[in-house]
Structure 1
Amino acid sequence: MNLQRLRQIQPYLWTLPLQPGEKRGEVLLYGSAPLLESMDDKVLEQIAHVAALPGLVGAAMTMPDAHWGYGFPIGGVAAFDAERGGVISAGGVGFDISCGIRSLRSNMRLQDVTPKLATLADRLFQTIPAGVGEEGALKLDPKQLDQVLLGGAHWAVQQGYGNEADLDYIEERGCVAGAIPANVSELAKKRQRGEMGTLGSGNHYLEVQVVDRIFDEAAAQAYGLQEGQIVISIHCGSRGLGHQIGTDYLVMLAKAASRCGIHLPDRELACAPINSPEGQQYLGAMHAAINCALANRQILTHLTRETFREIFPASKLETLFDVSHNTCKQEHHVIDGQSRLLYVHRKGATRAFGPEHAMLPKRYRAVGQPVIIGGSMGTGSYVLAGNSGNSAFASASHGAGRALSRRQASARWQGKQLIGELAQQGILIRTRSMRGVAEEAPGAYKDVDSVAEATEQAGLARRVAFLRPKVCVKG
């Protein structure tokens, strides 16, 4: 990205000045100069197009890990007011609806698991279904799947997957209201009936990690984290159902935009007024997909616990937090001194509520919401805490963010060689796809340390702990 096109407002905050005759809202970009320079110019083009959509409140924004995606850039944030003509866009949510990370803290320490680390890696790989189209043992009939789409993680707990205590540490307590299974196509449901409790492919993973460094002792204590402790992170979403919903609604939303006279600067930004029939229909389907993802991660949590207990009978895994990063959430935010209900699109961005927010569990209320910035096999991940002064509608980075496309990565690296190199670093990879490993090579992503530091310096969230990978299960 050419920084000469930008104007720096603060050390970690930039804006794209309006050109003569240009009609759009404000554009803000969070990050350091090196991070922004590493981004494709397409990011700037896409977020400027987002800023031209009707009903935008405040600015259209990118997080420090941004890279270009479908419609919205990944790492894009934008809020809209339904009462002022605001829109909802499938491109602003993403195809893998409610993709997110569930992190589990354990009572195990690195020295406890090291002697059986390879055994643990093998058993997790055998237990956790992962890969393109991979199905699990759970097969749902249409009625059961509709119950999943309505109940989310609550449904999973009721079926014996985990416990009630997990729900306190999941966004929306594990179930978002307003899901309408009837708005989900039969094809989307068919794709999902065998995919509950599965990891998927691409950048999804299950990692066994060790807390390597603590940055904020008070927040770490509240989160129950300490150096040398084993943590497990599960990164996945709504699988085939969410992808199909995204595909199904693109055409409908594009037609709605045309019917309502909405000019689309990019056809990938297909959208509809939130209060239109099409907007409400998409919302009902999207909420169903969010519940699907929350249930999916809850089932995977249960499978992970069972695997740990098989090898380490005294192990105990508690949910640290579960946060999504491909959603549109209805939230109240103070704008010009007044509380307004906004529809906040976060595509590849994480909600990051600050201390004392009413939606936080009591245990975390004094320090703020846990924020997970996921790494890429060999690079480590971060746990951060949300800040009260967050100026991006309580949003933060969700991961390192791609620096190279999957095609570029697979041309540069070989999966088998990468697995060997990571093993020499003490990181065990288990996968069904060598090409998938190459596509997700650590070098294909931005430097996660720089992203986490920039997220902190920009005031979005503050670093609490660095997690170093020990085992990574991928599709």
Structure 2
Amino acid sequence: MKKESENTYVFEKKGDMKVPLKVFASEKLMKDIEKDRALEQGINMAKLPGICKHAIMMPDAHQGYGFPIGGVAAFDAEKGIISPGGIGYDINCGVRILTSNLGVDEVREKLEEILNVLYENIHTGIGSESKIRLETSELEELLDTGIDWAIKKGYATEEDKERCEENGRMPQADSSKVSDRAKKRGRKQVGSLGAGNHFIEIQAVEKILDKSTAEKFGIKEEGQVVIMIHSGSRGLGHQVCTDYLRRMETEQPEIFKSLEDKELIYAPLGTEIAEDYYKAMSAAANFGWCNRQVMTYETRNSFKKVFPDSDLKLMYDVCHNMAKLETHEIDGKMKKVYVHRKGATRAFGPGHKEIPEIYRDVGQPILIPGSMGTSSYVLVGTDEGMKETFGSTPHGAGRLMSRHQANKLYTGEQVQKDLKSKGILVRSASWRGVSEEAPGAYKDIDEVVKVSHEVGIGKIVAKLVPLGVLKG
């Protein structure tokens, strides 16, 4: 390991590594990263066929399945691979922010009431189901068309669509590549929060650091209330990942046997199984956008009930666990690559055609949630990030300990009490859901974002603080 600069470490290529491994972290965060198998997983990531330039680990990196969470890799579109373990089980786990015309004092007066209304309208917790019941044909339409389904049903507007990554739809999606079991798991879950680190959080803008960009994003003043929604493709996405991991292992025994880490099973791009997986992954991604969109619809209705004059506008919606065909400059040439972002956020710089026109001149909004009870941030994509990380940046604080360890150290009741003493209200489906997501179970979000800002892969625009949290 070589310290290349203040917040950058490099593991030079050696042995079976095809490329170096680059880690963006401060000394403090590197100590956290070294506590589990994340670095070993990062090195194994660098051994995969067709990987380009370097493997990357973000400041919030920690051990995952296959890739470390916080792992980014780009694979040559012709000679590379696609790996479910490099994308994750919760396909298109993502974050969106709704800006509001409400102030912090106004909302704090009715904070408990609005949390209760949200809890009634949006179902949370393990195995939670929504109020919507979809027949198979309608679910398949959702999987194939993404947010266009939500617009057709009245859950979304054209403006919502424009402010989603990929416009809320992966056109490669093919519901026929999604198993009946996965569809069964998803049929009753669109518009539900789920469990784990997923949440809906009412936040206040504490500090604006880039006033002109913040204003462009709809953040107009300190004390303004915003709502952050964090969820993914629920049981459907999890099943898609499981199905294709098993299929790749079974149908490609030679590849499976050759792997040092069996969790990194992959399919060579251009093969039938690779194409089937990408189509199924895209369908699960479409489910993720629709899931967050229906919750957005319910959030708007909930706020209207408590604050009749409220106006909630979607700022942006970003994805975490995805692979996408993109064009990036590598060794001085523009090259098509499949960028895997596992627990990492796309962060395109100014001028990129995939950024909504209203933001194109400043760069893509980046939304980085903290752990429950800590700050969250809005950043903006940079040219430097396009060069260094294939336009990627961290996705959150990153776990410091497992959920099992957190449950040993904390109780839900105590965490709720501690947060209440700081003026933060929590409503959850279970005490366990609170204890395993205790703030102490996560890395320092301020440090993670500071590294991103200083390295230049995402510039800080505004700091947000929690008022009330709805947890699974």
Q: Same fold by TM (over 0.5)?
A: yes
Aligned counterpart for 1:91 among listed residues 73, 85, 88: 85
Give the aligned partner of residue 181 of structure 2: 187
Partner residue of 2:443? 446
Is 1:243 the counterpart of 2:238? The answer is: yes
DSSP-derived class of the 1:167 partner: helix
Q: Take 1:376 and 1:9, find their aligned partners in 2: how far apart are those partners?
A: 29
Whole-Å separation in 1 of the counterparts to 2:19 and 2:302: 50
Residue 413 in structure 1 maps to residue 407 in structure 2: no
> What is the TM-score of this pair, normalised by structure 1?
0.97
Q: Distance in 2 between matches of 1:243 and 1:55?
A: 26
Q: 2:319 aligns with which of 324, 334, 340?
A: 324
- In the other structure, the counterpart of 1:42 is 37
Are the counterparts in 1 of residues 108 and 467 from structure 2 also a CA contact under 8 Å? no
Residue aligning to 2:429: 432
Q: For each residue in 1:77-108, what CA deviation from the matched residue of structure 2 results, as whole angstroms up to 9, or x when unmatched?
A: 0010131x201000000000000001110111
Identity score, percent = 45
Counterparts of 2:17 and 2:323, CA distance in 1: 24
| Structure 1: gaps (5+ residues) | 1-5
1:130 aligns with 2:124: yes
- Taking the aligned partners of 2:214 and 2:244, their CA distance within structure 1 comes to 41
1:74-153 aligned at under 5 Å gives the runs 74-83=69-78, 85-153=79-147
Partner of residue 54 from structure 1, selected from 49, 52, 67: 49
Q: Which amino acid counterpart does residue 439 of structure 2 have in structure 1?
A: P
Tell me, yes or no, if structure 1 residue 222 matches structure 2 residue 219: no
Task: Quickly say closer, same or farther: Cα 1:255–1:53, change in 2 above 3 A.
Answer: farther
1:235-278 superposed Cα distances (whole Å, 9 cap, x missing partner): 00000100001111112122454356883220000100011111
Deviation readout 1:37-72 (Å, 9 max, x if unpaired): 111241110010010000001111100000000000
Which amino acid is 2:97 matched to? S
Tell me which amino acid in the other structure corresponds to 1:365: R
In structure 1, what is the equivalent of residue 363 of structure 2?
368
The equivalent of 2:194 in structure 1 is: 200
1:9 Cα deviation after fit: 1.0
- Name the residue aligned to 2:299: 304
Q: Is the 8 A contact 2:17 2:43 kept in 1?
A: no
Does the 8 Å CA contact 1:31/1:458 hold for their aligned counterparts? no
Q: Secondary structure at the match of 1:362?
A: coil
The answer for the alignment partner of 2:309 in structure 1 is 314
| Larger deviation, residues 361-370 vs 253-262 | 253-262
Give the drift of 1:335. 1.6
RMSD over aligned Cα atoms: 1.2
Q: Is the 8 A contact 1:120 1:311 kept in 2?
A: yes
Match status 1:213 vs 2:207: yes
Deviation at 1:155, TM superposition (A): 0.7
Q: For residues 359-398 of structure 1, what are the structure 2 equivalents within 5 Å?
A: 359-390=354-385, 391-398=388-395
Matched, 1:339 2:334: yes
Q: CA offset at residue 17 of structure 1?
A: 2.9
8 Å contact 1:105–1:232 — kept in the other structure?
yes
The residue matched to 1:342 in structure 2 has which SS?
A: strand
- Supply the distance in 1 between the matched residues of 2:327 and 2:248 (Cα, whole angstroms): 25
Q: Greater shift after overlay, 258-267 or 100-109?
A: 258-267
Does residue 401 (structure 1) correspond to residue 394 (structure 2)? The answer is no
Give the TM-score, by structure 2 length.
Answer: 0.97
Q: Does 1:174 align with 2:168?
A: yes
Secondary structure class of the residue paired with 1:56: coil
**Shift of the alpha carbon at 1:162?**
2.4
User: Quick one: distance in 1 between partners of 2:228 and 2:314?
Assistant: 10
| Aligned match of 1:3 | none
Contact 2:375 2:464 in 1 (8 A): yes
Secondary structure at the aligned position of 2:30 is classed as: helix
Instruction: Give the length in aligned residue pairs.
Output: 468
CA contact (8 A) 1:349 1:398 kept: yes
1:253 aligns with 2:248: yes
**How do 1:62-73 residues align onto structure 2 when only pairs under 5 Å count?**
62-73=57-68
The ranges of structure 1 where at least 4 consecutive aligned residues each deviate by more than 4 angstroms after the TM superposition are: 259-262
CA contact (8 A) 2:249 2:256 kept: no
Query: How far apart, CA to CA, are the structure 2 residues paired with 1:222 and 1:398?
Result: 22
Q: 1:438 is matched by which residue type in structure 2? A: S
Q: Does 1:465 align with 2:462?
A: yes
For structure 2, list consecutive stretches of 5 or more residues without a partner in the other structure. Answer: none
